[in-house]
Amino acid sequence: MAERLFILNGPNLNMLGRREPHLYGRVTLAAIESRCRVVAGELDFDLFFAQSNAEGQLIDWVHQAFDETAPVIINPAGLSTRSVALYDALRMLGRPIVEVHLTNVFARESLYQDVLTAAAAWGFLAGFGAEVYEMAMRGLAAHLSGGGRPCG
């Protein structure tokens, strides 16, 4: 039976492919989702993939992941540096969380470098573009199967 996996995307990620392509590339969120669905099939994940510009909606989905005891991959985007509420929601999950960012937030302006939500994560990937999603899925699958190293 497939394990449920939530991949959640925060504000402005619906604009990928059009927003600052010199930073984020030309790949769209729909293309990322399509690739994630292929990888989910390979790894036997039942994928819930969603994006919202609303902090409260992301928190509701984290609560749903809690109720379904599902691991989470999250790109909180701009909420990563300021959302105590999202951080608190992530902290209550009893399953691994991987935070991903398309760009290397630590090589960007200082306002992107204080990544609050990452403190709730088991793993963190940044700077590899859209590939961070697949990398996170594969790392998470290895960890859940007992083949990954402990982190955190």
- Has 103 been labeled as part of a binding site? yes
Active site residue 87: no
Q: Is 75 annotated as a binding residue?
A: yes
Task: Copy the structure tokens of residue 144.
Answer: 């859940």
Q: What integer is the mean pLDDT of 69-87?
A: 93
Active-site entry in 22, 63, 87, 101 = 101
Residue 145 has pLDDT above 80, yes or no: yes
112 is catalytic: no
The answer to the question of whether 102 is labelled as a binding residue is yes
Q: Quick check: 113 pLDDT over 60?
A: no
| Mean pLDDT in residue range 86-111 | 86
Fold of 3-144: Rossmann fold (3.40.50)
Q: What is the pLDDT of residue 119?
A: 81
pLDDT score for 111: 53
> Max CA-CA distance within the chain?
44
Domain residue ranges of the chain, discontinuous segments joined by +: 3-144
Distance CA 6, CA 50 (A): 8
